[in-house]
C-alpha cells in the first residue's frame, strides 16, 4: 500500500500498475470535500516518490465514481470573497495538473456518476473508460457556477469547442453513447467488465501501443483555431447561450467566455482565466440562491427520508379513486415508478380518459427514446382499471381524486373506508378543502390525510402531504414513503384553508386583481413578472390553472381568511368567470388560445377581455415596474411568513422549496425567504409600508418587524 487514507488509497497491482481508489468513509458517495482534496495531494506525493510505477488506474470503491464537489463547503468559502474562493479551487487544480503531468500513463474507470469535479478529474487522465450504465457531465451552471477545476480548459481540447460549450452551458448529464460519440470517453463497456477493460487499455499505453504523451500534449496546448473560425464559433455560441439562459443566469455565458478567452493559451494560463470567471459567478446572487436551493433540496429530502423510516410497512399496492386526467396522471406516476395501482371510476368514460392520459405520457417517452415499447407495456400492466371496489381490501393506500366538492368527497371517502382494511391509509388529493372537514364522516380519521398533487402530475415534483388534527404519525410516514417511491418531493404541512401553496398563491392573485382594478394592464403585469423570473405572469397562470377553479379556490380562501382575502370589489377573475372565459380549458380566458404547430395551446391577446373588464376597473394608466413587483410580491411574502409562524410549514427551506417545486417561484431568487434575506427584512418592511393603504395583505407580521429591527434573517448564517 503506497497510501491509505479516509477518502482514498493507492496500492500496487501487477505489472507496475498503481490503483488510486476513491472510497470516502462514512459517505454513500465520493465527493471532493477538503479531506478528499488533501488526501489526493498526499496520494500524488506517494505516486511521484514511488519506484517501479508504470501506470496509474483510477477507480471508485462505491457504486458511483465521484459526484462532484462538496457543496456544503461552498458557503464559507464564497463568503470569504475572491481569496476564499480561489483558495477552495487552487489545491485541486494543482492536484489535477500533477495527475495529468505524471511521467506514466493514466486511465480512469468511470462507474455510476462522474459529475462536476468528478468528471474534471477524469479529464485530467489520459484515457477514460465508461461503464454502460454510467453518466458524466459538468452541471455547475445549475448552481449558477462554471466548472472550476479545468472543465472549461480540458473539455474543449478533448471534444472540441462547440461540443464543450454545449455540454457545459446546458449542464446536462451525458449518457455513454453521447459521451463516446463526442470522444469524451475512449470506450464504453458493460459495468461488470469495467475494471478489466480499463486495465487492458492501461497495459496497452504502458507497452507503447498508444501514444498517451501526444494526447496529453493536446490538452496542455492552445486550441488550433484560426481567428475567423474562433470568431464564428464564439459569436454564435455566446448569442445562442445568452438567449437560452436569459439575463438572470449569467454562468452559461461565463463558461463560454472562459473557453473563448483561454483557447489561445496553454493549460496553466487558461486555468487562470477559468478561475477569474468562476470567482465572478460565485459572487453573484444567482449562485448564492442556487447553491442555497441545492442545500435546501438535500434538507427536504432528508426530512422525507426520516418520515419514510418511521413507516411501519412499505406501500406495495395502491389505488386511485376518480380517473380522468388527474387520476390517470397519478396512476401513471405510481405504475411508472413500480407500484401497481387500481384506477377506479364510476363511469367507463372516466376510465378511458385516465388510461388515455397514462398512454399519452408513456408514448412520448417511447418516441423520445427514453422508454422501450416493452417497458411501456409493463407500466400499463401495473394500472388496473376498474368500475368496482373488488380487491380494495388488499391495497395499502387509496388516493381520492374526485371532483373538488366537499359533499361528493364526503360520500366517496365514507364509501371507500367501508371497502378497505382497517389498516389502509386514505389520502385526499384536494387542493383547498380542509382535511379536518373531510375527515368528519370517517370512522378512522387517524388513517386519513391530504396528498395534494400538482398538475400535470408527471411533471410537477411537489406533493403536499397535509396532516389533519387526528392524522396519525404512521399515516403521514406511509404517504411520504409512497410519495418518495413515486419520485416526488414530499413536504408535510398542517391543515388550513389552501394548505401552504394555495394559501400563499392566492394573495399573489389578490395583488394582481387590485392592480387591474386600479388601472394596470394585465398584459403588462404578466410581462413584468415574467421578467422578474416567473415562468408565466399571473393572468396567464390563472388561464392555465382554470379561472373556474381559481374562483372556487378564492371563495374558500376568503371564507377562511376574511380579513385579508375577502373582496370588496369584483375581481378580474370574477368578470372572466361570469363571461364563461375559463382559460385554456375552453380556449378563452384573459387571453384567447389557439393550437400551435405541435398542437399545444398558444395564448393570443384579445380585446374581448379588456372590453369585459372596462366597467369594473379604473382608467388604464402606466405603473412603474417596481410598483407592480412590490404589489404582487408583498402579499405572497407576508402570507408565507404567517404560515411559518403558525406552524403550517416547519422550516424556511421547506416553504421555499414548496413554492419553487409547486408554482415555479424563480429559482435564481432562491425562494421567498431567501429573497427576503437577500433584500433585507428592513427594506421589505419599508416596501410593504408603502402600500399599507391596500389592506391587511400588505401588513408585515409583528415577527417580521421584530426581525427587521434586530437584523435577523430566516436562514441565519447559511
Q: Which residues contact 127 (CB under 8 A, 6 or more apart)?
A: 105, 106, 107, 108, 186, 198, 201, 202, 205, 210, 212
Q: Are 295 and 718 in contact (CB under 8 A)?
A: yes
Cα 243 to Cα 236, 240, 249, 281: the distances in Å are 11, 5, 10, 18
Smallest Cα–Cα separation from 131: which of 183, 85, 78, 195?
A: 195
First to last CA, the chain: 40
Quick one: how far is CA 461 from the chain centroid? 8
452 a catalytic residue: yes
Spot the catalytic one: 183, 452, 458, 616: 452
Smallest Cα–Cα separation from 420: which of 440, 394, 399, 446?
A: 394
Smallest Cα–Cα separation from 481: which of 416, 432, 425?
A: 425
List residues bridging with 128 in a β-sheet.
108
> How far apart are alpha carbons 429 and 426 in whole angstroms?
10
List residues bridging with 118 in a β-sheet.
none
- 242's grid cell: 445568452
Please give the sequence-ordered ranges of beta strands (E in DSSP) within 345-470, or none if there are none. 383-386, 397-400, 425-428, 448-453, 462-467
> How far apart are alpha carbons 675 and 335 in whole angstroms?
38
Q: Are 513 and 631 in contact (CB under 8 A)?
A: no
- 519's grid cell: 388601472
Cα 654 to Cα 293, 432, 458: the distances in Å are 10, 19, 21
Smallest Cα–Cα separation from 165: which of 173, 153, 176?
A: 153
Rounded to the nearest 5°, which phi and psi values hold at 91? -60, -40
In the three-class reduction of DSSP (H, G, I as helix; E, B as strand; rest coil), residue 592 is classed as: strand
Q: Which residues contact 593 (CB under 8 A, 6 or more apart)?
A: 543, 583, 584, 587, 601, 602, 603, 604
- 51's grid cell: 519506484
Catalytic residue positions, numbered: 452
Amino acid at each position: 500500500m503506497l497510501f491509505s487514507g479516509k477518502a482514498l488509497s493507492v496500492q500496487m497491482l501487477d505489472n507496475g500498475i498503481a490503483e488510486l481508489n476513491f472510497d470516502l468513509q462514512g459517505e454513500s458517495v465520493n465527493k471532493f470535500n477538503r479531506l478528499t482534496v488533501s488526501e489526493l495531494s498526499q496520494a500524488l506525493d506517494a505516486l511521484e516518490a514511488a519506484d517501479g510505477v508504470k501506470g496509474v488506474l483510477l477507480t471508485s470503491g462505491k457504486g458511483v465514481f465521484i459526484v462532484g464537489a462538496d457543496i456544503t463547503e461552498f458557503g464559507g468559502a464564497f463568503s470569504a470573497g475572491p481569496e476564499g474562493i480561489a483558495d477552495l479551487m487552487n489545491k485541486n487544480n494543482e492536484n489535477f495538473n500533477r495527475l495529468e503531468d505524471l511521467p506514466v500513463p493514466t486511465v480512469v474507470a468511470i462507474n455510476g456518476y462522474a459529475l462536476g469535479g468528478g468528471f474534471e478529474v477524469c479529464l485530467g487522465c489520459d484515457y477514460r473508460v465508461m461503464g454502460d450504465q454510467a453518466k458524466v457531465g459538468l452541471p455547475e451552471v445549475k448552481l449558477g457556477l462554471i466548472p472550476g477545476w479545468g472543465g472549461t480548459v480540458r473539455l474543449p481540447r478533448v471534444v472540441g469547442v462547440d461540443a464543450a460549450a454545449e455540454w457545459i452551458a446546458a449542464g446536462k448529464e451525458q449518457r455513454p453513447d453521447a459521451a463516446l460519440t463526442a470522444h469524451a470517453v475512449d470506450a464504453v463497456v458493460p459495468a461488470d467488465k469495467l475494471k478489466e477493460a480499463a486495465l487492458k487499455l492501461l497495459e496497452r499505453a504502458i507497452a507503447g501501443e498508444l501514444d498517451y504523451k501526444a494526447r496529453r500534449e493536446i490538452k496542455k496546448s492552445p486550441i488550433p483555431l484560426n481567428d475567423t473560425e474562433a470568431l464564428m464559433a464564439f459569436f454564435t455560441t455566446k448569442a445562442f447561450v445568452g438567449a437560452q439562459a436569459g439575463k438572470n443566469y449569467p454562468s452559461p455565458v461565463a463558461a463560454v467566455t472562459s473557453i473563448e478567452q483561454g483557447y489561445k493559451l496553454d493549460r496553466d494560463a487558461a486555468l487562470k482565466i477559468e478561475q477569474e470567471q468562476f470567482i465572478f459567478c460565485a459572487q453573484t446572487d444567482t449562485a448564492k440562491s442556487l447553491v442555497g436551493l441545492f442545500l435546501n433540496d438535500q434538507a427536504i429530502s432528508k426530512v422525507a427520508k426520516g418520515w419514510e423510516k418511521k413507516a411501519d410497512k412499505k406501500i406495495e399496492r395502491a389505488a386511485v379513486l376518480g380517473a380522468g386526467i388527474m387520476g390517470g396522471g397519478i396512476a401513471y406516476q405510481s405504475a411508472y415508478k413500480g407500484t401497481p395501482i387500481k384506477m377506479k371510476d364510476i363511469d367507463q368514460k372516466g376510465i378511458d380518459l385516465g388510461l388515455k392520459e397514462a398512454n399519452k405520457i408513456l408514448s412520448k417517452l417511447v418516441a423520445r427514446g427514453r422508454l422501450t415499447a416493452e417497458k411501456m407495456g409493463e407500466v400499463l400492466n401495473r394500472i388496473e382499471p376498474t368500475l368496482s371496489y373488488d380487491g380494495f381490501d388488499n391495497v395499502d393506500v387509496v388516493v381520492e381524486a374526485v371532483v373538488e366538492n366537499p359533499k361528493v368527497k364526503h360520500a366517496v371517502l365514507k364509501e371507500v373506508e367501508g371497502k378497505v382494511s382497517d389498516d389502509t391509509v386514505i389520502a385526499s388529493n384536494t387542493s383547498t378543502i380542509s382535511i379536518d372537514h373531510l375527515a368528519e364522516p370517517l370512522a378512522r380519521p387517524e388513517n386519513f390525510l391530504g396528498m395534494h398533487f400538482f398538475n400535470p402530475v408527471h411533471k410537477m415534483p411537489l406533493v403536499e402531504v397535509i396532516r389533519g388534527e387526528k392524522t396519525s404519525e404512521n399515516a403521514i410516514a406511509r404517504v411520504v414513503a409512497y410519495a418518495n417511491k413515486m419520485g416526488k418531493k414530499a413536504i408535510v404541512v398542517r391543515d388550513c384553508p389552501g394548505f401552504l401553496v394555495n394559501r400563499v398563491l392566492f394573495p399573489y392573485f389578490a395583488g394582481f386583481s387590485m392592480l387591474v382594478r386600479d388601472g394596470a394592464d394585465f398584459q403588462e403585469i404578466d410581462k413584468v413578472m415574467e421578467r422578474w423570473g416567473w415562468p408565466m405572469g399571473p393572468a396567464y397562470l390563472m388561464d392555465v390553472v382554470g379561472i373556474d377553479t381559481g374562483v372556487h379556490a378564492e371563495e374558500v380562501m376568503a371564507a377562511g381568511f376574511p380579513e385579508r382575502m375577502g373582496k370588496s370589489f369584483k375581481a378580474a377573475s370574477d368578470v372572466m368567470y361570469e363571461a364563461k372565459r375559463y382559460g385554456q380549458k375552453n380556449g378563452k380566458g384573459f387571453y384567447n388560445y389557439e393550437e400551435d404547430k405541435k398542437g399545444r395551446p398558444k395564448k393570443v391577446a384579445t380585446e374581448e377581455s379588456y372590453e369585459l373588464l372596462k366597467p369594473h376597473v379604473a382608467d388604464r394608466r402606466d405603473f412603474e415596474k417596481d410598483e407592480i413587483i412590490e404589489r404582487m410580491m408583498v402579499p405572497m411574502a407576508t402570507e408565507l411568513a404567517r404560515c411559518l409562524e403558525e406552524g403550517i410549514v416547519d422550516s424556511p427551506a421547506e416553504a421555499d422549496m414548496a413554492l419553487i417545486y409547486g408554482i415555479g417561484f424563480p429559482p435564481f431568487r432562491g425562494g421567498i425567504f431567501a429573497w427576503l434575506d437577500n433584500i433585507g427584512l428592513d427594506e421589505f418592511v419599508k416596501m410593504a409600508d408603502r402600500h399599507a393603504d391596500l389592506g391587511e395583505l400588505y401588513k408585515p407580521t409583528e415577527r417580521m418587524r421584530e426581525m427587521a429591527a434586530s437584523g435577523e434573517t430566516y436562514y441565519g448564517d447559511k
